[in-house]
Structure 1
Amino acid sequence: MKITAQEEYGLRILLRVARSDQEEGITIQALSEVEGLSIAYVSKLSRLLRIAGYLQSTPGNKGGYLLAMPASQININQVLKILGGALFSKKFCEDYPGSEKLCTNSVDCSIRSLWQMIQLTVDQLLDKVSLQDLISQEQASTDILKLILTIPATKPSLKA
């Protein structure tokens, strides 16, 4: 399993915009320079994030990108899925059938259950993380993420 460049850079761009204190937003040119990415790649990722509703653009010569909502409302799991998709999707078995039309293990696959559990675990963690949790310096964000890991998942109450 790998984090794709698109996921990494897209998240970095979103974080850079969140950290920006420029009232009119941060430009694609500025994002390109501070992140060491091409203008074309920053444009592509910014467009994806804007279409998904995470960024808004400000018009004009001095215009740029701002968050479209508070950082505390931006769920990292959803952002990563917009940028690259899930680690394991229901189409996985269709995409990797081997040399046959259907996977030889499509009926009973213990490996599929492993991938599903990994995806579930990743989703449960990332659903608890907001962009706000990552805005701090690395050590502070590490502390926040460690705290998030120790919070048990909420379970629906069976009491009426």
Structure 2
Amino acid sequence: KLSTKARYGIRALLDIAQHNLEGPVLLREIAKRQDISRNYLEQILISLKAAGFVRSERGNRGGFILAKNPSEIRLDQAVQVLEGKIALVECVDDPKVCPRTSFCPTHELWGEVTAAMNQVLKSKTLQDLLETQKQKGHPQTAMYYI
């Protein structure tokens, strides 16, 4: 299970990418659109900035912008910055945590599932998510009629 930090971080990157052409994106705008606490989002963006995914600009027209092209931001790298190593169960990442690892019939299965999950994340970029979002439409622009 991915933490909220990783899920929110990917959503924040996607939000910045969607609004990047308008200039730097304000933290409060991202927080409002994504329904994320401003304080929590700030911590996430600090991590993403330190890893080189986003840059911040100060001043009247300040905010966050992508530091790389969306096609250069692989999701596995972003998730790893926010989450650490990605493993379905702890023993896959560190076999020493479980004394049953050497004879456990499910250890190999969890390792295969973890590898598949990591491969999917490695094969996807922020640009892929932007394309998916374009196909699905923007929820904040949807109109409902009674």
Kindly provide the amino acid, as one letter, of the partner of residue 53 in structure 2: Y
Higher relative contact order structure (alpha carbons within 8 Å, sequence separation ≥ 6)? 2
Name the structure 2 match of 1:125: 120
Q: Which has the larger radius of gyration?
A: 1
Indicate the percent of aligned positions where both proteins have the same amino acid. Answer: 25
Q: CA deviation at 1:16?
A: 0.2
Shift of 1:66: 0.5
Q: Does the residue aligned with 1:57 lie in a helix, a strand or coil? A: strand
Q: What is the alpha-carbon root mean square deviation over aligned residues?
A: 1.9
User: Where in structure 1 are there 5+ consecutive unaligned residues?
Assistant: 98-102, 142-160
Aligned length: 131
The 1:19–1:92 alpha-carbon spacing in structure 2 relative to 1, beyond 3 Å, is farther
Q: Measure how far apart 1:136 and its partner are.
A: 2.8
Q: 1:139 to 1:58 in 2, by over 3 A?
A: closer
Structure 2 CA distance for partners of 1:53 and 1:139, relative to 1, 3 Å:
closer
CA apart distance, 1:133: 0.4
Matched, 1:34 2:33: yes
Counting only pairs closer than 5 Å after superposition, residues 53-132 of structure 1 correspond to structure 2 as 53-85=52-84, 86-88=86-88, 89-91=92-94, 93-94=96-97, 97=98, 103=99, 105-132=100-127
Q: Are the aligned partners of 2:75 and 2:122 in contact in 1 as well (CA < 8 Å)?
A: yes
Runs in 1 of length 4+ with deviation above 4 angstroms?
none
Q: AA paired with 1:38?
A: S
> Which has the larger helix fraction?
2
TM-score normalised to structure 1 length:
0.74
- 1:114-148 Cα deviation digits (max 9, x unpaired): 1110111112222111100001354737xxxxxxx
